[in-house]
Amino acid sequence: MKLSHFNFNLPTELLAEYPAENRDESRLMVVHRKTGQIEHKLFKDIIDYFDDGDVMILNNTKVFPARMYGNKEKTGARIEVFLLRELNAEQRLWDVLVDPARKIRIGNKLYFGDDDSLVAEVIDNTTSRGRTLRFLYDGSYEDFRIKLLELGETPIPKYINREVTDEDAERYQTIYAKEEGAVAAPTAGLHFSKHLLKRLEIKGIDFAEVTLHVGLGTFNPVEVEDLSKHKMDSEELKITQEACDIVNDAKAKKKKICCIGTTSMRAIESSVSSQRTLNPFDGWTNKFIFPPYDFSIADAMVTNFHTPKSTLLMMVSAFCGHDLMKKAYEEAIKEKYKFYSYGDAMLIL
């Protein structure tokens, strides 16, 4: 498969700028792999497709307010700083992206907050837009982290061409988010409300939680025609023994196992045993799934509608079958489903 197989025309008006009014009332397209049948539902109807003992795998990562704005010393130019990951807690070193990057050189200082209460020094270049910053802050590490939360804003995707609102802080986060560390939301999970989770629980569906801290690499455009040459950025992943037990028990009993989102799928496919069961994991993964690919554990998947040429679309194609994926996306555009982070969902069975 080549990159050009994943290109299609996506009308810009289908990119969702705001979430649905109620989480579980976004639209849901249900795609049946065996028959090719496509159904149009609401997300809360997902409960009709699962039974007692089935398992949903959730990514419990929590988005932190990773986007900050500072001013460059001397010139006062406004610079956007996007926190990617902490490199060293003691030295307060962070891997970041800066914009506009051409103005930011090693040795420059950036000032944050109305009172310049936080200062950062650029100590290295990593990529064209990437820099390593050392934050200079007098207080304790806990106070420093509080200061970052105070100065940062919810990192909604760039295509959403509007100011961040208070609503984004709540809605660009799953209701089961626990482990802080993501710079982008695992968006398939945004459709679950507390009420829907409770109803699924009462029906006997089990939940296994994994933690994959979503980085921006997930959304990096693929720039090589030969997909085998694309390198994914590494993301931190943790799978506990408890999650493995829930999943492997359901698999042994031939129950349905459904990954909520491409990040959950990438997480479990990064740690499969030779018996095709799930193993505990604590480390980093740069797993890239594209067709043809033999999935080991999940037999169902919930995912949002993705943009052309994205690694996310490639995984959906591998799971769904390329022709059926294309048919489903044509239908989604015709029926005006909303795409991307705040968009509608697809259940692939």
Q: Which class is domain 67-153?
A: mainly beta
- Terminal CA-CA length for the chain: 23
Q: What is the DSSP letter of 217?
A: G
So where are the chain's domains?
3-63+169-348, 67-153
Q: Which residues pair with 303 in a beta bridge?
A: 346
346 with 304: CB under 8 angstroms?
Answer: yes
42 with 344: CB under 8 angstroms?
Answer: no
The pLDDT, as a whole number, for residue 101 is 87
Q: Which residues contact 138 (CB under 8 A, 6 or more apart)?
A: none
Q: What is the mean pLDDT of the chain?
A: 94
pLDDT in tens, 239-288: 999 999 999 999 999 999 999 999 999 999 999 999 999 999 999 999 99
**Which H or E run includes 200?**
helix 194-202
pLDDT at 98 over 90: yes
Q: What percent of the chain has pLDDT over 70?
A: 100
Tokens of 139: 């207080």
Q: Which residues pair with 31 in a beta bridge?
A: 38, 348
pLDDT in tens, 168-226: 999 999 999 999 999 999 999 999 999 999 999 999 999 999 999 998 777 777 889 99
56 with 178: CB under 8 angstroms?
Answer: no
Length of the chain equals 349
The pLDDT, as a whole number, for residue 51 is 97
The pLDDT, as a whole number, for residue 252 is 97
Q: Which amino acid is at 38?
A: I
The pLDDT, as a whole number, for residue 263 is 96
What is the model's pTM?
Answer: 0.93
Tokens of 337: 């489903």
Tokens of 45: 């109807």
In the 3-class helix/strand/coil scheme, how is 235-302 assigned residue by residue?
EEEEECHHHHHHHHHHHHCCCCEEEECHHHHHHHHCCECCCCCECCEEEEECCCCCCCCCCCCCCEEE
277 alpha-carbon distance from chain centroid: 24
Dihedral sign from CA coordinates of 258, 262, 267, 269: positive
* CATH of region 3-63+169-348: 3.40.1780.10
User: How much is the average pLDDT of 318-332?
Assistant: 97
